[in-house]
Amino acid sequence: KNEQRGTFSFFEAGMDARAQSRRKIEIDLRDAIQNDVLRPYYQPLIDLSTGRITGFEALVRWPHAERGMISPAEFIPVAEDTGLINALGGLMLRRACMDAAIWPDEVRVAVNLSPLQFRGGNLLSVVMDALKQSGLPPKRLELEITETLLLEKSSQVLATLHALRALGVRISMDDFGTGYSSLSYLRSFPFDKIKIDQSFVRDLGANPDAQAIVRSIISLGMGLGVTITAEGVETEAELSCLRSEGCHEGQGFLFSRARPNVEIVGLLKAQCGVDSVALGDATEEA
């Protein structure tokens, strides 16, 4: 069949299995972007002192025709290697801002940015357009960056971060503690929130080392005057430890998995105060 021959020609002789599978992801991803198949799912961020939802993190989901949901861990690296990350990142920003614009006014949306989106030079205008088209107030948008961005020590990156913040957008440091940034970088970069990586949250309550690390990240964050969010909260033991350490916010399967936008409005309506466990019956996201 034509189709098979066409498909075959994409693969060069000598490509190993891994390269072939990445090539297939690239081809399908290009298609998925063109056909507007990618969607943000939203995972709540919970204020640990009140149990209320303060916002949602937008996480890209790709319902693949043959494979079901494919994990971003698998296709984000491919998107970064092929330049597709700019289109993907742009569409996530636009859609997340549109969705969040109809949520209650105090509820924020957080969108992940790849370091590569800072290279193209037009990130600022992509963000401004997304805000303008959706009508979302800038203070309700958070942009999540990782420490790898800071490693570049680029003045262009720094200027873009300052310009974003001047719009009123917040900057969050994602996966904190897993990168290589030194504390001196932290001082020179403007940001509003630290998200403690889930690897440190794991074992909290059981492992004194994990608790010591989390405690020092929290005191660092408090010293810098930023909000501290714990990622990957799965158990009540982790939650109570984080609360006793004074962590501001939590995110994790204990509260909810990421859910499609249609479920978010209902979730916000049901928001009823201190009982965070009200969110507990997290449905599978597949």
Residues that bind Mg ion (CB under 5 A): 112, 144, 174-175, 231
- Select the span of 101-109, 148-156, 165-173, 246-254 touching ligand C2E (CB under 6 A): 246-254
> What's the gap between Cα 239 and its chain centre?
20
**234: contact with ligand C2E by CB under 6 A:** yes
Task: Return the H-helix or E-strand segment holding 24.
Answer: helix 17-34
The minimum distance between CB 2 and ligand C2E, in angstroms, equals 34
Task: Locate 66 and state its tokens.
Answer: 């043959």
Of these, 109, 204, 252, 259, which contacts ligand C2E (CB under 6 A)? 252
**Is the CB of 70 or the CB of 213 nearer to ligand C2E?**
70
CB of 17 to Mg ion, least distance (A): 26
Burial 210-230 (b: 16+ CB within 10 A, else e): bbebbeebbebbeeeebbbbb
Q: What character string, x for contact with ligand C2E (CB under 6 A) and - otherwise, covers 195-224?
A: ---x--------------------------
Contact call for residue 232 and ligand C2E (CB under 6 A): yes
With CB under 6 A as the rule, give the number of residues binding ligand C2E: 24
Q: Which residues contact 155 (CB under 8 A, 6 or more apart)?
A: none
Asked if residue 174 binds ligand C2E (CB under 6 A), the reply is: yes
Q: Report helix, strand or coil for 69.
A: strand
Interaction between residue 99 and ligand C2E (CB under 6 A): no
Figure out which of the listed residues 45, 53, 60, 173 binds ligand C2E, where binding follows CB under 6 A.
60
Distance CA 101, CA 108 (A): 9
Separation between Cα atoms, residue 99 and residue 165, nearest integer Å: 21
Distance CA 202, CA 253 (A): 12
Instruction: For residues 38 and 20, give the distance between their C-alpha atoms in angstroms, rounded to a whole number.
Output: 22
Residues 134-173 that bind ligand C2E (CB under 6 A): 144
Binding footprint of ligand C2E on the chain (CB under 6 A): 43, 59-60, 71-73, 76, 89, 92, 112-114, 144, 174-175, 198, 231-234, 251-253, 258
